[in-house]
Structure formats: C-alpha cells, structure tokens
Chain A
Amino acid sequence: MSPVLFELLLRSIWETILMTAASGLISLVFGLPLGLALVATDRGGIAQSLWVNRVLGAVINGFRSVPFIILLVALIPLTRLIVGTSIGTWAAIVPLSIAATPYYARIAEVSLREVDHGLIEAARAMGGNRWTIIREVLVPEALPGIVAGFTVTLVTLIGASAMAGAIGAGGLGDLAIRYGYQRFETSVMVAVVIVLIILVCGIQWAGDRLVARLDHRA
C-alpha cells in the first residue's frame, strides 16, 4: 500500500470513528429519554398516558421502517439546515443520529421494561416521586442493559456510516468502495476489513467489560 493510500486509510478511520461516536452520543442523549418515555407512558407505567405512548410508538416505528439509504437522501434539506452543507462527515452525522435514536430508544425500552415492578412499588412506598423512581430505580437497575444496548447501537452505526459514503461522508466504507472495489486495490479492501473487525471487536469488548462491572444482579 502506498504512503498516500495509507494516509487515506488513517483519515478514513478517523472519519468513521468521528461519525460513530458523534451519532452514538446523540442517539444516547435522545434515545434514552425516549425509551423512558415509552415505558413510563405505557399501561401501568409511572406516568401512564396511552395516547402519548401510541403517538411516540408510531413516530419511532415510522423512522425505523425507512431504509437508511433513503433516509440519508430524504433528510438532505434538514441536514443542510443544521450543518450548512449536505456533503461530508459532519453532514452524515445528522441522518445517522436520526436513524440511531429511535433504534436505541427501542433497545433502552426493552431494558427498562425488565426492571422488576416490585422495585418501583418499593420506591413509591418510600414516598418517592416519578423523578426519584427514574433516577434511583429505573435507570440504575436497567443500566447493564442500557450499556449493552449502546454497544450494539455503536456497532450498528459503524456499518451504517459506511453507507453514508453515498453522500460523500468519507469513512472506511467510502474508502473500501472507491479504492478497494472500483479501483481493484485489494490491499485497501483487506486493510479496511481488518480495521473494521478490530473496531467492532474493540467496542464490543469494552462494552462487555463495562456491563460486567455494572451488573450486580444475581
């Protein structure tokens, strides 16, 4: 591999990490409250409101059912509004975040739903309000699942960020297509795949370690 290609590879790695980390963080910040809202407003939840629950569920399902490549193009006006351009790494972060947020919301919802109802009742019996229940019971008890789900989301985002090459986002996927595939640079293709494997394994390993440390359930 030539030094130029190697430099290109390094830049692509950085772009992929940037896209994954930024959109992962955004999906965590918005997806976790959304997941909480889904659980809280559901029947028997701490802020039961079936109407809100149904609307939220429908919106989340709507976003999740649009194929990412279509979302990428459909969101171009919004991206332009937020980032100022529709091309490049930062521009890709907008559709990536919007796709990952409802995805993560559903994953967080599953973990939050698994929290034993008896624990919520115990907190209520102690005189706790909704905020107490969220802060002291729901989130801490679901934390292992919330972290494991975030790991899954990050790995999914690495894959999705490759598609964002379609709008000139750069990143490893883009490099693999343009150099590895279209220019028959097998060495680039192999290098990209190896780097991706290392990235995914690294994230999964770190996530698993963190979950093991957080999980005090029997």
Chain B
Amino acid sequence: MNQHFTASVELADKVDSRSAGLGDVVRLTELKRRFGETAALDGVSLTVRKGEILGLIGRSGAGKSTLIRCLNGLERPDSGQVFIEGREISRLGERELQPLRRRIGMIFQHFNLLSAKTVEGNVALPLKIEGRPRAERRARAAELLQLVGLSDKAKAYPSSLSGGQKQRVGIARALAARPALLLSDEATSALDPETTRSILALLRDINRQLGLTILLITHEMEVIRSIADRVAVIDAGRIVEQGPVWSVFANPRSEVSRSLLGAIRPELPAEIQSRLAPAAGEETILRIDVAGEAARGPLLSDLAAAVPGPFRLMHGGIDHIQQQPVGTLFLSVPGADANHLAQVIAFLKARQARVEVLGHVAGFV
C-alpha cells in the first residue's frame, strides 16, 4: 500500500515535470480570471524558460497585473493551470503557497519598502520569514547591497533614499531568498528615464550573472527593447503575439504591438503625414521595414546601383535589438513614372524588406 502510494507520487511528479517541459520555470495553460463582467484573463497560455528575460507588455487594464499575481498565488485563476518549476500551484492553499512564494522574488512599481525598517532590515526580511539566523541574514544582506551598489546605505531608512535607490533595495530584497524566478511589476514606471536605464542594466546583469529567470511586465516598449529576450503582448486578457524581441519589433503582427511600438519606432514626421494624399502626385512616400540580413547589407547603395533614378531618404534609421539590426526607412521616390516606382519596390522586396506605399505628396520642397 505504502509502496504503491510512493510509486504513484513519483509518477505524478514525472508527468508534471514532463508536461511543464524541461527548463520551463513557468507554464500557464488557458488561464482565465473574471472580475465581475470583465475578463481580466481570457485564456492565457504562456511559458517562461529558464534563464530568459520575458517581457510582458500591454496597455493598462490588459490583464498584466492579474497575470503576474497568478504566478505567486496572490490571485487565483477561475480556471486554467499555473505550473511553477513543474508544480501546479493554482489550487494550493495559502499555507502550501507560502514556502513556494519564497522561490519567487517580486519587485513593485512603488517599491513597497517597509518604512520602519532600515535598508538592511528590508533586504533581510525574506530570510527572516524563512527563519534564518540573524548572522546569516546580515551577511546575505551585505552581499546583496554590494551587488546593487548600496553598501553604504545599510543603516539608512528608505525615506532617505531616491526612487532609483529604493528600487535597488527592492531588487536586493527580492533576491535575498535566492529565488528561481523574479517578477517585476512595472518596476521602472515610477522612475525617470536615466534611473530606469540603470535599473534595467542592473536587472540584465543579475540575469546574466546569476542566471536568474525574469518575467517583467511593463507598458513601455523601451523597457522590453533594452533588456528582454522574448516579448509577449497581452491585450484584453489574451496573448496576441509573442516571440523574440527583435522579430516582434521588426514585424509586429497585432494592432496593439504596432501601437505600443509607435512610441519608439521611427514614424513619418507629422508635417509630411498631414500632406499625404491617396492620389498619385509628384512624389511617392514609401515605408520600408527591414530586419536581420536585409538590414545588415548596403541596402540603399545597392538600390541606387540597381535602379537608376533618384530617391530621397526622408526619415528613419537602423536600431540594434539583441544584436539584430531592425530598421524603418521612409523613402520618397519622385516622378510620375509608375514603372520606376514598381522597380524600386520590386528591388526592395527581393531584399526581404517590407514595403508599404503610404501615399503621395505633390509639390515637395
């Protein structure tokens, strides 16, 4: 009887770890959660692989926070499953969740540091909760404060720190219990751009040095661009798109991705935009999206050599995301010669570029 029981438990473990996939820290299947009439999560399936930084982006109210809170059991899904390191947690009771939560660090938009504790006390709190002895807690806190560059602030209270310093303390605290996963809930949204960059660089370092898996949620593409390996786009409680960051940036398939990307990708200057007309005019404005190999080569000089006739670069640039060139160029092709225009487009398409005719402008400067 006893043996049979052990065997079945082992079997269940095996099934769990296999279904979660080796190396997956998080796996969500068909997660649903409603608040009254609105579906915050409407069938979300998502995997976070070991060692990666996955960025989850969406507009406010898209279900990001609900999703991240399901991962450590702060929120319970109505249906669907949450696997953390192969273990299904969505049906666990509060008491069973507590040790599990210690495997997951979390950082918050508003830092959530305890004002009554010193920086050291805040960082050591997860260890205190685990019941570690004081000497160990202090040693670990000192180690972590060094990691985040705040060794001199150990005895200070959070109210005397700047926003960036507070978030560094938050990160140190989240790492204290050596978690397998770090959740970042809009961790840089309350910080200025420069501080945001330094916090993101710190997260990237931690990811590389410690091999820590990070799931970060944000509404800013810039955050995804600078540190994520993969991105998942959430809209109205559904994952509408996911993939390597550079590929989603180069070729966004969903309307939400395009609109979220709008802020950091080159756009046609408003002044030209306003003069665009659908009817053929003197100049045709093209939008050209290139990525990977297409963006690496001397595209424009090749175009000039292959298709005689003038064209003008209006706006654009090549960005490097995850060592992959991704770019958007706006060209203006003058003249009413439809054949010339067709040749230009054909050449660009042959080079794996995506070409879109935005419109025509008459009487250009």
Q: CB distance B116 to A141 under 8 Å? A: yes
Contact A119 B114 (CB under 8 A): yes
Return chain A residues, CB-CB under 8 Å to B128.
136
Q: Is the CB of A122 within 8 A of B112?
A: yes
Contact between B98 and A128, CB atoms less than 8 A apart:
yes
Chain B residues lying within 8 Å of A122, measured Cβ to Cβ, are: 106, 108, 112
Question: In the assembled complex, how far is the CB of residue B157 from the closest CB belonging to chain A, in whole angstroms?
Answer: 4
Q: List 11 A-B contacts (CB under 8 A).
A: A118-B110, A119-B112, A125-B183, A128-B129, A129-B95, A136-B125, A136-B128, A137-B114, A140-B114, A140-B117, A217-B115
Count contacts on B: residues with CB < 8 A to the other chain: 30
Interface string of B12-31 (1 = CB under 8 A from A): 00000000000000000000
**Cβ contact within 8 Å between A124 and B101:** yes
Judge whether A121 is part of the interface by a CB distance below 8 angstroms. Answer: yes
Inter-chain CA distance A38–B241, complex, in Å, is 46
* A127–B106 touching, CB < 8 Å: no
Bound together, the chains give a CA A132 to CA B127 distance in angstroms of 12
Q: How far is the CA of A218 from the CA of B161 in the complex (A)?
A: 10
B104: which A residues are within 8 A, CB to CB?
125
Number of interface residues of A (CB under 8 A): 22
Question: B74 near A127 (CB under 8 angstroms)?
Answer: no
Whether A116 sits at the interface, judged by CB under 8 Å, is yes
B72, B97, B129: which contacts A132 (Cβ < 8 A)?
A: B129
A218 near B159 with CB under 8 A, answer yes
The answer on a CB contact under 8 Å between B108 and A127 is no
> A123 contacts which chain B residues (CB < 8 A)?
125, 129
Residues of A within 8 A of B (CB): 116, 118-119, 121-129, 132, 136-137, 140-141, 143, 214, 216-218
User: What are the residues of chain B within 8 A of A143 when measuring CB–CB?
Assistant: 116
Contact (A126, B129) CB under 8 Å given A216-B159, A217-B159, A218-B159: yes
Q: Does B99 contact A (CB under 8 A)?
A: yes
Q: Are A127 and B129 in contact (CB under 8 A)?
A: yes
Question: In the complex where A132-B129, A136-B128, A218-B159 touch, is A127 in contact with B116 (Cβ < 8 A)?
Answer: no
Task: Decide if A118 touches B112 in the complex (CB within 8 Å).
Answer: yes
The answer, yes or no, to whether B102 is at the interface (CB within 8 Å) is yes
B117 contact set on A, CB distance < 8 A: 136, 140
| Given contact pairs A125-B101, A127-B129, A217-B159, a sample of 17 additional A-B residue pairs in the complex whose CB atoms are under 8 Å apart | A123-B125, A126-B101, A126-B129, A126-B173, A127-B97, A127-B100, A128-B129, A129-B94, A129-B95, A136-B125, A137-B114, A140-B114, A140-B117, A141-B114, A216-B115, A216-B157, A218-B159
The answer to whether the Cβ of B126 comes within 8 Å of any Cβ in the partner chain is yes
Please tell me if the beta carbons of A125 and B72 are within 8 angstroms of each other in the complex.
yes
Inter-chain CA distance A85–B112, complex, in Å, is 52
Chain B residues within 8 Å of A129, by CB: 94-95, 98
The verdict on B171 contacting chain A, using a C-beta distance below 8 Å, is no
In the assembled complex, B293 has its CB within 8 A of some CB on chain A? no
Docked CA distance A121–B115 (Å): 15
CB-CB < 8 A to A216: which residues of B? Answer: 115-116, 157-159
A216 to B106: give the CA distance in the assembly, Å.
Answer: 23
Of all chain B residues, the one with the shortest Cβ separation from A128 is B129
Residues of A within 8 A of B302 (CB): none
B267 at the interface (CB under 8 A from A): no
Q: Residue B130 at the A interface, CB < 8 A?
A: yes
Q: Mark B85-103, 1 if CB is under 8 A from A, else 0.
A: 0000000001101111110
Q: Check B177 for interface membership: any CB of A closer than 8 A.
A: yes
Q: Could you say which of B117, B177, B183 has the most chain A C-beta atoms within 10 Å of its C-beta?
A: B117
Which residues of chain B have C-beta atoms less than 8 A from A214's C-beta?
A: 116
Distance of A155 from chain B, by nearest CB (Å): 25
Residue of B72, B100, B125, B157 with most chain A CB atoms under a 10 A cut-off: B125
